């Protein structure tokens, strides 16, 4: 068990709260968060974060049945350092970014409207986080979002993804949840999806804007169609070195092909032909990566190692599509 990796999600484990009980509490917590940001008051912000004791309670709820006594003792010893690191690396980093953003753009938090989101995904229902969405009167940074939870009759900020942003983070999250790996016809991994381009400008103009703003390496071919009946596209290939087991073991390189196609206002993306090559590592080359763990993969990687690779691959695709979606929004606004 890697306690660092699970701590982020453990921070948001509590009993599910009804919407009616949040009517005023979410406004109070939201206003305190914004007050700490506006005044650059790190001490106040830290008092709003879920306590370490609450994290330990929920670690035990989730994993006590799986732990041996020795594992439980080790988890308890590890918790303090991991908790402090999460506070400093995640919560306080986000706090500093919000402070800088507030000063740079002279954000005004005097009139913030809040909404408790009634719709929760399955993960939220399981862990009990209550999502709060706020709107700010500002031309650029209109959105404020955070997660809250109750512990010993107090409400705390539970998720380091608290943010003041240009986009609706919850809509973005819902969209990114649809970005997943899947199996192609031959059982190899791929990721395929699409974005709708809501613009009165032509596909050619929008695609040119997207290409101009994308930072892509390995582009092999691109075509911008001037005819509405023909698609514009971009194709390429990229590879990167890869490590597993918390970066301890170099396993070689992973390469993949990518395509973006814009036709009739629909931007389709495709990542495919993921291949593992030994390079100068001690690991045997797998070639095209299968979606399911099998006997051939077992000759090279354990199941945990392989699924770690697939997990990281999916996260990288999500980050790429998140950036692509932001560029599409920018191009739409620029016109």
d(CA 12, CA 7): 9
pLDDT (average), residues 91-101? 94
| Beta bridge pairs of residue 116 | 132
Q: How many helices (H) and strands (E) does the chain have?
A: 11, 12
Give the rounded distance of the alpha carbon of 256 from its chain centre: 21
**Cα separation values, 191 from 194, 239, 253, 261, Å:** 10, 16, 19, 14
pLDDT above 50 (res 21): no
**How many Å from the N-terminal Cα to the C-terminal Cα in the chain?**
49
Angstrom distance (rounded) from CA 163 to CA 75: 30
Span 273-302, mean pLDDT? 93
Beta-carbon contacts of residue 224 (< 8 Å; ≥ 6 apart): 204, 207, 208, 211, 232
Band of residue 335 on the pLDDT scale cut at 50, 70, 90: low
132: closest CA among 22, 222, 212, 208?
22
Residues 256 and 258: their CA atoms lie apart, in Å, by 7
Residue 329: closest CA among 263, 261, 264, 267: 267
CB 123 within 8 A of CB 131: no
Q: Which two tokens stand for residue 214?
A: 């994308």
In angstroms, rounded to a whole number, what is the distance separating the alpha carbons of residues 211 and 195? 15
| Residue 24: per-residue pLDDT | 67
When pLDDT is cut at 50, 70 and 90, the band that residue 47 belongs to is very high
pLDDT tens-digit map of 173-212 = 777 888 999 999 999 999 999 988 866 788 888 999 988 8
In this prediction, residue 227 has a pLDDT band, given cuts at 50, 70 and 90, of: confident
Counting every residue written for the chain, the total comes to: 335
Over residues 296-309, the pLDDT tens digits come to: 999 999 998 899 88
Classify the phi-psi angles of 202: left when phi > 0, otherwise alpha if psi is within -120 to 50, otherwise beta. beta
**Is 84 a residue whose pLDDT tops 90?**
no
- Rounded to the nearest 5°, which phi and psi values hold at 255? -120, 160
For 256: left if phi > 0, alpha if psi spans -120 to 50, otherwise beta; the answer is beta
**Which comes out higher in pLDDT, residue 97 or 139?**
97
pTM of the model: 0.60
> Three-state SS for 140?
coil
Helix H or strand E encompassing 164: strand 163-165
> How many CB atoms lie under 10 A from the CB of residue 149?
24
The overall average pLDDT reported for the chain is: 84
Q: Quote the tokens at residue 303.
A: 């199941």
What is the structure's pLDDT at 120? 54
Phi, psi of 184 (to 5 degrees): -80, -170
Instruction: Report the alpha-carbon distance of residue 51 to residue 47 in Å, rounded.
Output: 8
What is the pLDDT, as a whole number, of residue 107?
Answer: 93
Q: What mean pLDDT comes out for the span 22-27?
A: 69
User: Which of 294, 69, 272 has its CA nearest to residue 181?
Assistant: 272
Give the pLDDT score at 2. Answer: 53
């Amino acid at each position: 068990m890697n306690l660092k990796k699970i701590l982020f999600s453990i921070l948001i484990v509590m009993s599910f709260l009804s919407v009616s009980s949040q009517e005023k509490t979410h406004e109070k917590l939201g206003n305190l968060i914004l007050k700490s940001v506006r005044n650059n008051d790190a001490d106040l912000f830290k008092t709003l974060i879920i306590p370490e004791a609450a994290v330990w309670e929920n670690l035990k709820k989730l994993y006590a049945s799986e732990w041996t006594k020795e594992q439980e003792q080790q988890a308890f010893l590890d918790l303090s350092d991991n908790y402090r690191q999460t506070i400093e690396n995640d919560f306080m980093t986000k706090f500093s970014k919000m402070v800088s953003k507030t000063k740079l753009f002279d954000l005004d938090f005097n009139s913030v409207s809040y909404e408790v989101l009634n719709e929760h995904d399955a993960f939220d229902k399981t862990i009990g986080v209550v999502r709060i969405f706020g709107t700010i009167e500002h031309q650029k940074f209109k959105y404020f979002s955070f997660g809250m939870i109750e512990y010993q009759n107090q409400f705390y900020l539970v998720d380091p993804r608290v943010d003041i942003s240009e986009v609706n983070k919850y809509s973005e999250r819902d969209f990114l949840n649809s970005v997943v790996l899947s199996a192609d016809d031959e059982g190899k991994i791929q990721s395929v999806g699409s974005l709708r381009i809501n613009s009165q400008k032509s596909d050619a103009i929008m695609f040119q804007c997207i290409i101009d703003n994308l930072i892509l390496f390995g582009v092999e071919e691109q075509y911008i169609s001037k005819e509405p009946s023909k698609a514009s596209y971009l194709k390429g290939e990229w590879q990167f070195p890869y490590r597993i087991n918390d970066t301890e073991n170099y396993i070689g390189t992973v390469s993949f092909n990518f395509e973006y196609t814009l036709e009739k206002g629909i931007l389709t993306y495709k990542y495919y032909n993921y291949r593992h090559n030994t390079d100068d590592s001690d690991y045997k080359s797998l070639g095209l990566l299968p979606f399911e763990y099998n006997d051939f993969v077992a000759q090279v990687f354990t199941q945990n190692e392989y699924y770690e690779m697939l997990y990281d691959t999916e996260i990288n695709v999500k980050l790429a599509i998140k950036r692509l979606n932001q560029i599409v929004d920018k191009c739409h606004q620029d016109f």
